[in-house]
Structure 1
Amino acid sequence: MPPSPAKSHSLAHPTYRPDIDGLRAIAVLSVIVFHASPRWLPGGFVGVDIFFVISGFLISTIMFGSLGAAGFSYAEFYARRIRRIFPGLVLVLAATLAFGWWVLLADEFRQLGKHVLASAAFVANLVLWGEAGYFDTVVETKPLLHLWSLAVEEQFYIFWPLLLTLAWKRQHLLRWMGVAVVLSFLLNVGLVLRHPDAAFYMPLTRVWELGAGAMLAWVAWKRGAGAPALPGHQWMGAAGLACIAAGLAFIDRHEAFPGFWALLPVLGACLCIAAGPQAWFNRRLLGSRLFVWFGLISYPLYLWHWPLLAYARVLQDGFMDPPRAVRWGALAVSVLLAWLTFRFVERPLRHGGRRVVAGLAGAMVLLALVGAAAQMRWLGPRNDDPSIQAIMNASADWVYPDALKPFTFEGQRFERIDGGPRQVLLIGDSHVEQFRARALALAERRPQDVSTLLFATRGACPPIPDLIEDRDPICGERLAAALDLARTPAVQAVVIGGCWSCYFDVSQAPAAASAPPPPDHYYYRDAQGQRHMLRGGDGVPQSMAALGRLLAELRAMGKTTYLLLNIPVGPDFEPRSRLTGNRLQAMTAAPVTPMAPLPPSQAALHAQLRQLALDNGAIPLDPMAGLCRPDGLCVRADATGDPVYKDATHLRAAYAREAATFLDPALLAPAR
């Protein structure tokens, strides 16, 4: 039975283990190499999971030592966390915000302010989870994206000491830790396929990783500091490194992660720690000077590396990777900044007293206030030209699924607008979602006429059976549920739409990062399971035939069936292409003519889709009737010069709300 805590309270100081610093080095080097070049180390992101295990082990070791001796002091515990975490974090947040003020545009700086506020409050994981989605800003250009993991750790540090203290008094510590670990792991596995963003960012789905380290700390504490090495400790170290190496080699960002895959790095880290400092691999490799040095600077290195890489991408317009030399140069600079931060900021403040703690806490509050001012637009960036702001407004003008009510069918979460008894199901990708603004306008202006509208959509998921998007496993099951809903008697009409040019116009790649993935990521899978690629294969005619069969099937069931045709897409319609100048110096937005030519391949595809609809009993809904003139020129800006597009492939909500009248026959109840 654990000894009773004494009345005086302090924190225990665990014995220093150089091999754990070496394990930190593996974790941080894996992460930064992955971020610089994922092809070199496809599973490098699992370094974060190694960090979680280490943190759970060390924090719990401190707690067990304190609870078993003089007692646990919450005040001292959180003061120590502030002295450990805040110095480097305050410096990096301030530098990131200052550089962002210089180079970012209005919407980007506003988002940075939001992320500074979230990071200072240690809720960045929850904010990023809320932002995740098809039209989220390119993640590689979010300078504070990596701080989600720090937020998870700090949230763990809030409730874990409470759990351990309560369980300690009842002497069932290991049991309660085991329950928390098992429940967290099951939640992680249950969410990772259907709600991958939640599984990735939620603290509850990561507790099992930190808890695994905590249970390891319990075993080590019960055995005592002078206990002999565990039997087989030599092979434990080797097996642990092998598990970590397997995770780095065989896990990639396309896997359902964390899920079961996270067992590899978590088990590997646990085995390495359990092996002890005297195991050969731990002593000779993890405990070597080089690994220990990188371990000592691992925290500031983690803090610095991502803002440098993100800003390098921002300066490349955010849609492409910087040259390899720039990326690796950014890592070299981050190593230098990490050492300087460790040597001249962290170490001098780590053992400071109450004034240091108060000063660090005050600095964090000040940063949070500045971030809030940026988010509220009270503080603007240097590049705040009105012409640039007009483009930024267009780029941010996306409202799906605002004001839609969620509902669930066959385990899939869809959205609806309630109206009359006629139910219209809209199936497709973001090219259906872009017309939510028109649907809501009709519901507001003509509530007595609008049908009940059901949106069964997902960005970049083609609405054609057996047309596979190999990077998103949810597409297939979501479309299957949508089609089952379409076949129910409650649905009288079905609208099918998509970015047909993105899928079928294989003569050119998408024009911008905001477009769906290029056709290389799509293939048609026939009844024998054979793949027919859209680009470089016969996947396009196979997919078009499948679309025709789907339209005919729905029509044969008595459904009024509509095929939503394509809109013009391409670089000529991208508002950001009007930006000129240099972010490091000055930027302006160049004026453009209000019209741009429709690419001939898109005109041909438009005609082919129209005929496909007519041949299979569907009614074509034609956006180009209002967007394009007979001479082949199409609208890209209104009379005042403001863009009508959000990006290269989507209309902005303000334009769709007023101009997408071609949809009205499908959305309104038929005239009596």
Structure 2
Amino acid sequence: MRRDPLKYRAEIDGLRAVAVVPVILFHAGFEAFGGGYVGVDVFFVISGYLITTIILAELNEGRFSLMNFYERRARRILPALFFVALCCLPVAWLVLFPTDLKDFAQSLIAVATFSSNFLFWSEAGYFDTAAEIKPLLHTWSLAVEEQYYIIFPVFLMLAWRWGKRRITQILIGVFLFSLALAQWAAYQEPEAGFFLLPARAWELLAGAFVAFYVDRRGAVDVAPGLANILSALGLAGIGFAIFAYDHSTPFPSLYAVVPVLGVVAVIMFAQPGTLVHRLLAFRPVVGVGLVSYSAYLWHQPILAFYGHAVGRNAPLWHTALMLLATALLSVFSYYVIETPTRRRTVFGTRMKIGGFAVAGSLALIGVGLMGTLSNGNMFRYPQPVVDMFARADAYGLSTWEAKNASRLQDFDQDAATKLLLIGDSNSADLQNALAAVIDKDVSVVSAQVGATCGNLFVPPEDFAAFIERSRFKLCGAKHNDLMADKTYALIEEADIVILATAWSEWEVGLMRDSLDRLTEEYGDKFWVFGTKSVRFSRAEILEQCLSDCMGWTTSPVKSTTKINDSLAEIMGDRFIDPLSLMCSEGECTGFISPGEVLVYDGFHFTPDGSVWFGERMRDAGLIDRMGLGS
């Protein structure tokens, strides 16, 4: 059976539905769709096939024009994209706090310049919690496609005189290089591999190769029974990836070959009469496919703004309402925005769509620059407080600076006292605080144990079951100095050892056994520094700072108080309770000056906060009691 490659194929619109629904459900938090992100890969293959089909047909007839090509892309992509971005602006203004609004502003610039994938690659991984609530995170895939279509049609046009065989050979080489790069990057540079074109180009080229095959030989003509089997295997491959993969699957690597080949098989073998064709061409499925672009655009902002306004753990009925809103807005965008602009009912000439593209891009860039240059303040909140939130990354670096510099170093043999701090960022905070007040004749060395990895001296099998699977990598030798012989030599040599971690309840349960083992082996030199999580709300802080920042106070997280009480029972006088210094009668210090909080995220000290806390330790007599006084 031979088909016109340019003839409308309803089953491909149905395949778009297979792509978009899992992506939306994945982002909505449905665990069954752990691999729903492969829907983007399905879109890439479909796009590679359809666009290449059109380009080849026009090149064959000698009428291909880059201007016509980019006009079609502009009509297809920009109106709905700009409309969604425009609708996001007032919501972002109302919902986002300055640091998040600054991030959103930067993403507007990236959307307008089709560089979102570079922006989100530089900020966080796709599966990171911080990325989940970025309203325009999903535009990274549009950026990848548009970067591809800046290069690909120009290449075809320039290389056309070489012949299709030569062009295909070159593209096969690019395909193999891109696939090999994707496999390497999935393990060595996973964020770059996920977001950037070089590791994604092979997926678009997979669709392009189908177009080249059809252009040369016509649609694949196989027996109906074989077509049924192959198309069904293709759809099953896509389904397998959607339901079997999750955030821990290295991607896009060779794992991505499964859904990509699945799409190729469906495009090639889902002939009329096959079961897969009947399923995908079913009118409701096609209807979802037709609005799939708008649905893709709408779903992430809706879910992300909800996460900012309410929280990420939405009850099922809230999620259902968000999905309903996505569906309704998608239908609206398709009929009111997409269809008129593509049919030239709106922006009927190239000049008009070009003017719209330029004006819309400049508008997004302008608003983005305003939000970026004002650190997301947009003139609503006191600038010192906005600047304080903007320093969060710098605060994070300063937390670790001293700890990293002293990690597993040798003690100064001339020092009167040798102090070893073992733990995670809580020990880094303590080290910074002590640096402000301890005697200069104290030699301080640190050892690292990742949070919730077990800062314990008991057999690892006693607590391995408590460590979350997602943290196994962070609990390996690179982040866990309890696996290094040097650590135990330092414990032997130290005069004082302080264990400081964001303690969990299961660690407390094993602390007594751990302490007994340590004192039996190394003597009575061990102290424990408690955990210090407090309630931290940027919304409350900003609201309070409209009048007086110093009026904002906070309170301990209940589980933190319970953990510290248990540690105090075990350690007695050798326990340091940070909350007792930060809080009084359940009310904890918030600001230590009008432009500086004590903790910048509810746990970690700011640089000035470290000094403040160190002075409180000294004033409470703890420094002298440990023998570290000046």
TM-score of the superposition, structure 1-length normalised?
0.73
Aligned counterparts of 1:404 and 1:649: Cα–Cα separation in 2: 11
* Counterpart for residue 604 of structure 1: 565
Aligned counterparts of 2:143 and 2:54: Cα–Cα separation in 1: 20
Which residue, out of 26, 32, 38, partners 2:24? 32
Aligned counterparts of 2:159 and 2:613: Cα–Cα separation in 1: 62
Establish whether residue 373 from structure 1 lines up as the match of residue 337 from structure 2: no
Aligned counterparts of 2:404 and 2:167: Cα–Cα separation in 1: 44
Which residue, out of 221, 237, 245, partners 1:228? 221
Aligned counterparts of 1:343 and 1:263: Cα–Cα separation in 2: 35
Which residue, out of 104, 124, 128, partners 1:132? 124
The amino acid that maps onto 1:361 is V
Contact 1:394–1:643 (Cα < 8 Å) also in 2: no
- Residue ranges of structure 2 left out of the alignment (5+ in a row): 413-418
1:372–1:30 distance in 2 versus 1, CA, 3 Å? same
Which residue, out of 482, 487, 501, partners 1:498? 501
Residues 289-326 of structure 1, C-alpha deviation per residue, up to 9 Å, x if partnerless? 1122211111111101221222223221xx33333333
Aligned counterparts of 1:244 and 1:283: Cα–Cα separation in 2: 15
Establish whether residue 105 from structure 1 lines up as the match of residue 97 from structure 2: yes
Contact 2:75–2:341 (Cα < 8 Å) also in 1: yes
* Counterpart for residue 646 of structure 1: 600
RMSD over aligned CA atoms reads: 4.7
1:310–1:634 distance in 2 versus 1, CA, 3 Å? closer
* Counterpart for residue 394 of structure 2: 399
* Counterpart for residue 569 of structure 1: 533
1:379–1:649 distance in 2 versus 1, CA, 3 Å? closer
Which residue, out of 296, 320, 327, partners 1:335? 327
State the identity as a percent: 30
Larger Rg: 2
How far did 1:601 drift? 2.3
Worse overlay, 646-655 or 461-470: 461-470
Which residue, out of 191, 197, 200, partners 1:203? 197
- Map 1:569-648 onto structure 2 (within 5 A): 569-571=533-535, 576=539, 596=555, 600-607=561-568, 627=582, 635-638=589-592, 640=594, 643-648=597-602
How far did 1:93 drift? 0.7
- Map 1:296-375 onto structure 2 (within 5 A): 296-316=290-310, 319-350=311-342, 351=344, 352-355=348-351, 356-375=353-372
* Counterpart for residue 82 of structure 1: 74
* Counterpart for residue 415 of structure 2: none
Aligned counterparts of 1:436 and 1:132: Cα–Cα separation in 2: 28
* Counterpart for residue 416 of structure 2: none
Aligned counterparts of 1:78 and 1:296: Cα–Cα separation in 2: 21
Contact 2:117–2:144 (Cα < 8 Å) also in 1: yes
How far did 1:13 drift? 8.7
1:157–1:636 distance in 2 versus 1, CA, 3 Å? same
How far did 1:253 drift? 2.9
Worse overlay, 43-52 or 177-186: 177-186
Contact 1:399–1:437 (Cα < 8 Å) also in 2: no
Residues 71-126 of structure 1, C-alpha deviation per residue, up to 9 Å, x if partnerless? 65333322222121111111011111122123333222222111111222222222
Contact 1:312–1:326 (Cα < 8 Å) also in 2: no
Aligned counterparts of 1:202 and 1:179: Cα–Cα separation in 2: 18
Aligned counterparts of 2:77 and 2:421: Cα–Cα separation in 1: 49
How far did 1:147 drift? 1.4
Contact 2:553–2:587 (Cα < 8 Å) also in 1: no
Contact 1:397–1:654 (Cα < 8 Å) also in 2: no
How far did 1:390 drift? 3.5
How far did 1:385 drift? 3.9
How far did 1:648 drift? 3.0
Aligned counterparts of 1:313 and 1:203: Cα–Cα separation in 2: 29
Contact 1:594–1:638 (Cα < 8 Å) also in 2: no
How far did 1:427 drift? 6.7
Contact 2:499–2:527 (Cα < 8 Å) also in 1: yes
Contact 1:134–1:459 (Cα < 8 Å) also in 2: no
SS in 1 for 2:62: coil
Which residue, out of 149, 152, 155, partners 2:147? 155
How far did 1:468 drift? 2.6
Contact 1:129–1:197 (Cα < 8 Å) also in 2: yes
Contact 1:36–1:327 (Cα < 8 Å) also in 2: yes
Contact 1:425–1:456 (Cα < 8 Å) also in 2: no
| Number of equivalent positions | 590
Aligned counterparts of 1:346 and 1:595: Cα–Cα separation in 2: 49
Aligned counterparts of 2:602 and 2:314: Cα–Cα separation in 1: 22
How far did 1:257 drift? 3.6
SS in 2 for 1:109: helix
- Map 1:451-600 onto structure 2 (within 5 A): 466=464, 468-479=467-478, 482=481, 487=486, 497-500=500-503, 503-504=504-505, 534=506, 541-542=509-510, 545=513, 565-571=529-535, 576=539, 596=555, 600=561
Contact 2:206–2:264 (Cα < 8 Å) also in 1: yes
SS in 2 for 1:471: helix
SS in 2 for 1:158: helix
1:197–1:478 distance in 2 versus 1, CA, 3 Å? farther
SS in 2 for 1:638: strand
Establish whether residue 655 from structure 1 lines up as the match of residue 609 from structure 2: yes
Aligned counterparts of 2:262 and 2:62: Cα–Cα separation in 1: 33
Residues 525-568 of structure 1, C-alpha deviation per residue, up to 9 Å, x if partnerless? xxxxxxxxx4xxxx754577568868999x79xxxx98772342
Worse overlay, 373-382 or 329-338: 373-382
1:64–1:276 distance in 2 versus 1, CA, 3 Å? farther
1:88–1:450 distance in 2 versus 1, CA, 3 Å? farther
How far did 1:579 drift? 7.0
Aligned counterparts of 1:563 and 1:215: Cα–Cα separation in 2: 65
Contact 1:395–1:647 (Cα < 8 Å) also in 2: no
1:564–1:594 distance in 2 versus 1, CA, 3 Å? same
Worse overlay, 18-27 or 272-281: 272-281
1:403–1:566 distance in 2 versus 1, CA, 3 Å? closer
Residues 622-671 of structure 1, C-alpha deviation per residue, up to 9 Å, x if partnerless? 85685467x887544426595312233333344236645779x9xxxx99
Aligned counterparts of 1:174 and 1:545: Cα–Cα separation in 2: 67
Residues 137-166 of structure 1, C-alpha deviation per residue, up to 9 Å, x if partnerless? 743332112212222222222333455556
Aligned counterparts of 1:135 and 1:544: Cα–Cα separation in 2: 37
Aligned counterparts of 1:551 and 1:187: Cα–Cα separation in 2: 51
Contact 2:235–2:266 (Cα < 8 Å) also in 1: yes
The amino acid that maps onto 2:529 is L
Contact 2:533–2:556 (Cα < 8 Å) also in 1: no
How far did 1:189 drift? 3.0
Aligned counterparts of 2:367 and 2:578: Cα–Cα separation in 1: 44
SS in 1 for 2:471: coil
